[in-house]
Structure 1
């Protein structure tokens, strides 16, 4: 049974809500096809998001609060999964990435990662088996557990003649560079929306907590002195593969950079400067990769200040969006986790070692049974060579 309907779910490093995708996968002749039957993005309830933000690094928290959030986020994921199944129909498997609350990196090595959102709530609510905790197995094999989306990027871009780069602009920017079927590298570049969102939320610049359509950035001017300080971040000089998160890039990080710069930019100028930080760091990596194609996804794909800045900085690179490849830019990661679920169900690794730095590829995740006995398909031995997504 290579045909499976899988529901993928994730709340990313912007921790603003839950993205979901239902994909019907089938394998024929080495090509995997996926029909994207349903996508949606559901914001967290404001009180839950505020409680989550208050518990994230560098804020202190307690095990009691982690336990409460694990339950409340698990219940939110269960609600979203049940709503998706009500609209799209039954699924064979739910894959829940959950909410990352800590990614433990010591210099260039990932040592642990924590995603919360108890999967048993999803299994109880939907009756479907749930695959969760998908990053840690890669870390135990010496990888970073990120960016796991590289397994999707490698298959989607397999047919490109040249060097292609898939860029995700979430809270953190990450990129997969594909030079051939077995020649790729993937890593976290740095902050995409994380620092902008932190400033916008803390200063009450937008009710939605982010710079919608880049309007705030467009109204400001880049502070070059502050930008120079921000660009002098040691993380950018670490070798790849590497990973990072809000453990490093948070509001206090911005405030410390402002203090070192000796400047005091206004709100719009600060947002413009942080947006330009994303443009500069990403453009530098794309140029170094030699990519002639850049395929963009994530919340930042909808920010014209960010994407137009990249177009101007990369005149020889064709910039497009994952929508062109059948994956809506806002739900690409949910589709990626559905793909990882299909791989795990068939006994196939869900990682590309060159993308995460692991010693070898690993089958990912922990399974929580649903209402019926857990029955998996017969394992298959040959990984798909490409993926075609359609809607």
Structure 2
């Protein structure tokens, strides 16, 4: 079967760097096959990361500076694409998610989303046809533009007899519910953003260490504390957790201001730093589990974690405890990289776009139609 070498580039709401993959893809949907040739994470320069996080936090910015940051992100993505190909045959297609800096779900008007790192510049630098701006087509059809990965998950991770939930834990958490691959199974898929993933945990660590530490490695710090469940129950009354899907969210809700509200609530209880971090970590676990009980057609036979949060062993253990009888694994254990799954997904979405194959699932995003996703930027030699 003919294969296509594709680069996938992704930086999520954690803003911790660019995940880059080089993959070989064949087939279309039910016969889709992906082989990971190489995966690497390339950190942002510290100054650029700080500027991105400031934008995400709502700090005002001049248009000239926004353009400069857009170009700087595109340059980092292009360099990641060039580096991931070293010692490998070159790619002929590139899918770049870019860096989300603003996301507004649809309400009384169309939703809005902004990903920086313009594809035209990446195509020019790499001389590779680049597909970017994946979310806009879904939003233009009334959808949330998120989550976009469930259709990819469906063809790479569904099972003939098992009900599976694929739980990504990036800055924001999102789930794809995959019924057994039988009958009209594609119409029964569900998905939504479950709420905070690593975003509040990372922000809390930065707050508690005055910026000396960016994340809780393996969840070791939180594991040394005890979650205060009364606080978690209070936080779970937040309106987003009770909205029915389709729904999406971002740092606009679960960001710095939300953390400050959590810290204010916690003052009454005089928690130690470890107890505070354990409680904030518990919010991520409990919000995932609550959303399953509230919105899944049925509880899954198996949960497969991916994203940076899949490496937080304390968070994984809390999920296992709260979910009781449902096994919690990672996508690594079924043959798909948990670290690079999202980057792989955008390589697949680019591959589908080039072939005019739909990439969204309207039942997940709320869009009116299933459509190919992404804007194509040709590699025109100068």
Same-fold call, TM cutoff 0.5: yes
Q: 2:356 aligns with which of 338, 347, 351?
A: 347
Are 1:240 and 2:242 matched, yes or no? Answer: no
Match of 2:182 in 1: none
Q: Is the 8 A contact 2:305 2:338 kept in 1?
A: yes
Within 5 Å, which residues of 2 pair with 1:358-377? 358-372=367-381
Counterpart CA distance in 1 for 2:232 and 2:291 is 17
Counterpart CA distance in 2 for 1:5 and 1:103 is 31
Match of 1:49 in 2: 49
Normalising by structure 1, we get a TM-score of 0.90
Counterpart CA distance in 2 for 1:106 and 1:28 is 30
Q: 1:271 aligns with which of 274, 277, 287?
A: 277
Q: Is the 8 A contact 2:205 2:213 kept in 1?
A: no
Are 1:283 and 2:289 matched, yes or no? Answer: yes
Normalising by structure 2, we get a TM-score of 0.92
Counterpart CA distance in 1 for 2:256 and 2:275 is 16
Which of structures 1 and 2 has the larger relative contact order (alpha carbons within 8 angstroms, sep 6+)?
1
After TM superposition, the runs of 4+ consecutive aligned structure 1 residues lying more than 4 A away are 106-110, 205-208
Q: Is the 8 A contact 1:229 1:257 kept in 2?
A: no
Counterpart CA distance in 2 for 1:218 and 1:109 is 43
Structure that is richer in strand per residue: 1
Match of 1:331 in 2: 340
Computed over aligned residues only, the root mean square deviation of the Cα atoms, in angstroms, reads 2.1
SS at match of 1:31: coil
Are 1:88 and 2:88 matched, yes or no? Answer: yes
Counterpart CA distance in 1 for 2:162 and 2:18 is 34
- Number of residues paired by the alignment? 373
Are 1:40 and 2:40 matched, yes or no? Answer: yes
Counterpart CA distance in 2 for 1:9 and 1:74 is 11
Match of 2:223 in 1: 218
Change over 3 Å in CA distance of 1:206–1:292 after alignment to 2? farther
Counterpart CA distance in 2 for 1:155 and 1:109 is 32
Q: Which runs of 5+ in 1 are unaligned?
A: 374-391
Change over 3 Å in CA distance of 1:200–1:127 after alignment to 2? same
Are 1:299 and 2:308 matched, yes or no? Answer: yes
Q: Is the 8 A contact 1:2 1:346 kept in 2?
A: no
Counterpart CA distance in 2 for 1:91 and 1:372 is 16
The structural deviation recorded for 1:14 is 0.2
Q: Is the 8 A contact 2:75 2:122 kept in 1?
A: yes
The structural deviation recorded for 1:147 is 0.8
Q: Is the 8 A contact 1:287 1:314 kept in 2?
A: no
Counterpart CA distance in 1 for 2:366 and 2:130 is 27
Are 1:230 and 2:235 matched, yes or no? Answer: yes
Q: Which runs of 5+ in 2 are unaligned?
A: 180-184
Counterpart CA distance in 2 for 1:116 and 1:29 is 29
Are 1:204 and 2:209 matched, yes or no? Answer: yes
Change over 3 Å in CA distance of 1:370–1:230 after alignment to 2? same
Within 5 Å, which residues of 2 pair with 1:1-391? 3-27=3-27, 30-105=30-105, 111-179=111-179, 180-204=185-209, 207-260=212-265, 262-288=268-294, 289=296, 290-372=299-381
The structural deviation recorded for 1:38 is 1.1
The structural deviation recorded for 1:315 is 2.1
